[in-house]
Structure 1
Amino acid sequence: MPDSLQIALKNDSDSSNIHAYISGIAIQQCGQRCLLKANGKDLYFPGNPPSIGTPLAEDCAISLGSPGNTTTVTIPQIAGGRIWIVEDKLTFLLNPGPALVEPSVLNPSDPNASVNFGFCEFTLNNDQLYSNISYVDHVPRIPIAITLQQASGQSQHVVGMAPNGLDQLAESLRQQAQKDGRPWDKLIVTQEGRPLRILNATHGNAVGANFDGYYEPLIDQIWQKYQSGACMRINTQAGPGVLEGRINSNGELMIGDEAFGKPNSADVFGCNSGPFTTGPSPTRNAIIPRLAAAFHRSTLLVTEEQPSDPSTFYPQDPTNHYARLVHKVNLDGKGYAFAYDDVQPDGGEDQSGKVNAGDPVLFTVTVGGKSAAGGGGDGQQAASQQQQPLGDQQRQEYTRGPPPPPPPPGQDQQERQEGGFRGKLKGFADRFTH
């Protein structure tokens, strides 16, 4: 693995006012929080500020230039990284610590609340580069695609959305709200009459989209099924192998020797509370992602085998229509739509929109979606990649950490942004620094 890696930032939009920011934890600098400077080669380490909400001392915006331009930068090994893409610029702040206060889509008083931005996540460490297009927090208006070129000559590509992908998603959510009466349409954040972003249903309370009680009818049916003789089989895809699950006399779902109580809708959407809370048991921690994904995708009534084939995902109501439709509007059907969206059956096709390899040469982030939507350029590369699956020696699995726990009740949103929900990489980056 290299100590550094080139990242190509390609402007595939119609705007000349697109910037990138790269943030993360510098592995080779004792795990300090950092941003890449605007020159694309040096790191900026924020100092400890005198007060909450202090502006950065350095403008770290990297211009992508005019449409069609590619800007190349170099990063060292970084854990828990994000490549932020924004139309215009973002505002990062510092709290004492120092703690980097990142842009928030949940806090209406955040200075970036009306700004069009998105991001992809990555970690570059001694083992591999891992990256994904994350929709765990929200879907941005600005499309992002990623490509990883390897020393072996192979490449991996995730296409992302077309330029009008957010509009398509918004219309589909409005139709779903009319169909089932649930507030899917309230997840749409608009600006000047046009969708700016769409929040994950996990964050529905931030915009008055209340999904309390949504999954409970499905959960009751699942409990009835596995209390009436059906046997769930969870492939942990780890040392414990395949474990059987049934409802016991106490009303608990027993999977192997692990007992799971009934989740509620908040537990299912967040994947990090109730029965999905991880702990010291490696077996339980292997079960949780597969069980949580099965609830999200509503597959537990369709098949007893988990993880199940993607053809079984989202078959009925209630299900996670945000996740279902996010996959639908991404041109290759890939993208991280909830915290365990990388769960897949052995040999199954990845759903999460990730690239990873132990021999990275160039990582490209393409912004705007024009070539992907036109079926050429990146779209052709994606089709080629589907015909060139990785061999066993090239494929490296990414070992996920669990989602971070939910914040304490009443904790101020801005104060917790530095430790906020960040898909798979946030909150667990420190384990890559050792």
Structure 2
Amino acid sequence: MLRTLRRRAAAVGLSLATVLSGSLLATGVAAPARAAVPATIPLKITNNSARGEQVYIYNLGTELSTGRQGWADASGTFHPWPAGGNPPTPAPDASIPGPSAGQSTTIRMPKFSGRVYFSYGQKLVFKLTTGGLVQPAVQNPADPNRDILFNWSEYTLNDSGLWINSTQVDMFSAPYAVGVQRADGSTASTGRLKPGGYNGFFNALRGQPGGWANLIQTRSDGTVLRALSPLYGLETGALPTTVMDDYINRVWQKYSTSTLTVTPFADQPGTKYYGRVSGGVMNFTNGAGATVTRFEKPDAASIFGCHRRLDAPNDLIRGPISRTLCAGFNRSTLLVNPNQPDSGADAFYKDNVTNHYARKIHAQTADGKAYAFAFDDVGHHESLVHDGGPRQAYLTLDPFN
């Protein structure tokens, strides 16, 4: 089971800054390694963007053998971050020159849990606090990276293999795909948009009433930079806080007179939990009728962030139930299917009240896979590739069309 972990903390001077304080990708169940995973593997970065700007690459994360945060250079050598400050101090320049248009560059990935950033035309600005690295937080208009075109992939490379994804949990921006060459020489990839999918997404978002077009950020020269996630849309006032209320109310009403059945583990079909709303709270019981957890009525922020009233601790009961509820709310399937989660995507996002950002991203990906919200992996709808004995990883910068 995969989950994307985001630890967001307010850093002094950067009220909406994101601080890297742990693994960005964590595997709940380690897959058996098919072969010994070397200390580093190659990451081939290909620039098919057709853009002329200089590309900069960053490989930042947590060294799994020590738990130290830092960065890796092009050879895969780890460099720990120096101590930060309060207010935050500039981080060392960890940039690696990326490939020009039509070219490829290969770097080495160490056993990290972290991010590979790439930016066009400008280097990213990273700072260090006493708590760790401050990630770009472009939902903050004062963030120095606000007007830079950039994106990132998340990965974990450990003794059980490589997990690498394309992610839109925080924003949809510069298009890219990820891949892995497996131990048998075959390759798998994900994250690529359909032809015209980049412009198709932004055009669709512009046409969605209700404030969704306000998620789009542009530069002063009109360059489209990104669309913020709906969670950040709520935080910045781009989306109304009531955007999901109608659907939430209908779900709470339905399950005050009927039962929601959650089967959180695909490999454990006998493990079921039963939810009913009573006194404004959804109580979940096990097969013996004992209450195992309860959820207060969520709001849009809890749904889009899969946190707060839908907090998902890394346990075997509340966390798995919450993941399922979060996915059902974002995909708007809780009213049409009282047995969750849904395995097929045919019924996703059909209600007028839904996560339209996620809906439009999935509609534009070539394989239908995306990480458009934190628990998009429920039912395996995430844009992730994995192999237990990877020979090589791939990051392809795709065209903006």
> In which range does the TM-score fall when normalised by the shorter chain?
0.7 to 0.9
Please say which of residues 213-222 and 246-255 is displaced more in the overlay: 246-255
Identity, % of aligned pairs?
30
Secondary structure of the 2:249 match is: helix
What is residue 124 of structure 2 aligned with on the other side? 91
Secondary structure of the 1:269 match is: helix
Please say which of residues 18-27 and 201-210 is displaced more in the overlay: 201-210
1:359, distance to aligned residue in structure 2 (A): 1.1
Identify if the C-alpha distance between structure 1 residues 31 and 70 changes in structure 2 by more than 3 Å, giving closer, same or farther. same
1:244, distance to aligned residue in structure 2 (A): 4.3
Question: Please, what is the CA RMSD of the aligned residues?
Answer: 2.2
What is residue 119 of structure 1 aligned with on the other side? 152
Identify if the C-alpha distance between structure 1 residues 295 and 354 changes in structure 2 by more than 3 Å, giving closer, same or farther. same
**Are residues 1:199 and 2:212 paired?**
no
**Are residues 1:232 and 2:260 paired?**
yes
Deviations 1:323-380 (A, max 9, x none): 0001112222221000110101xxxxx321001121111000000248xx8xxxxxxx
Aligned length: 355
Identify if the C-alpha distance between structure 1 residues 54 and 213 changes in structure 2 by more than 3 Å, giving closer, same or farther. same
Match of 1:301 among 312, 331, 335: 335
| Cα distance between partner residues in 2 of 1:2 and 1:146 | 20
Deviations 1:283-327 (A, max 9, x none): 111111111100111101111121112111011111110000011
1:173, distance to aligned residue in structure 2 (A): 1.3
Identify if the C-alpha distance between structure 1 residues 239 and 187 changes in structure 2 by more than 3 Å, giving closer, same or farther. same
User: How do 1:117-266 and structure 2 match up within 5 A?
Assistant: 117-140=150-173, 142-161=174-193, 165-177=197-209, 182-191=210-219, 192-228=221-257, 230-237=258-265, 241-256=270-285, 257=291, 258-266=293-301
| Cα distance between partner residues in 1 of 2:337 and 2:132 | 45
| Cα distance between partner residues in 1 of 2:99 and 2:304 | 39
Secondary structure of the 1:312 match is: coil
- Kindly indicate whether the alpha-carbon contact (under 8 Å) linking 1:5 and 1:362 is maintained by their aligned counterparts in 2: yes
| Cα distance between partner residues in 2 of 1:231 and 1:315 | 21
Match of 1:291 among 308, 312, 325: 325
TM-score by length of 2: 0.82
Identify if the C-alpha distance between structure 1 residues 189 and 32 changes in structure 2 by more than 3 Å, giving closer, same or farther. same
* Stretches (4+) displaced over 4 A: none
What is residue 75 of structure 1 aligned with on the other side? 109
Q: Which amino acid aligns with 1:25?
A: T
- Kindly indicate whether the alpha-carbon contact (under 8 Å) linking 2:166 and 2:191 is maintained by their aligned counterparts in 1: no
What is residue 76 of structure 2 aligned with on the other side? 41
**Structure 2 unmatched ranges of 5 or more:** 1-36, 286-290
1:132, distance to aligned residue in structure 2 (A): 1.0
**Are residues 1:368 and 2:398 paired?**
yes
Deviations 1:233-278 (A, max 9, x none): 211106584424342543432322222221122211111011x123
TM-score by length of 1: 0.76
Please say which of residues 106-115 and 61-70 is displaced more in the overlay: 61-70
What is residue 383 of structure 2 aligned with on the other side? 353
**Structure 1 unmatched ranges of 5 or more:** 345-349, 374-434
| Cα distance between partner residues in 2 of 1:300 and 1:48 | 47
**Are residues 1:4 and 2:40 paired?**
yes
| Cα distance between partner residues in 1 of 2:279 and 2:138 | 41
| Cα distance between partner residues in 2 of 1:332 and 1:45 | 37
1:279, distance to aligned residue in structure 2 (A): 4.3
Q: Which has the higher helix share?
A: 1
| Cα distance between partner residues in 2 of 1:247 and 1:213 | 23
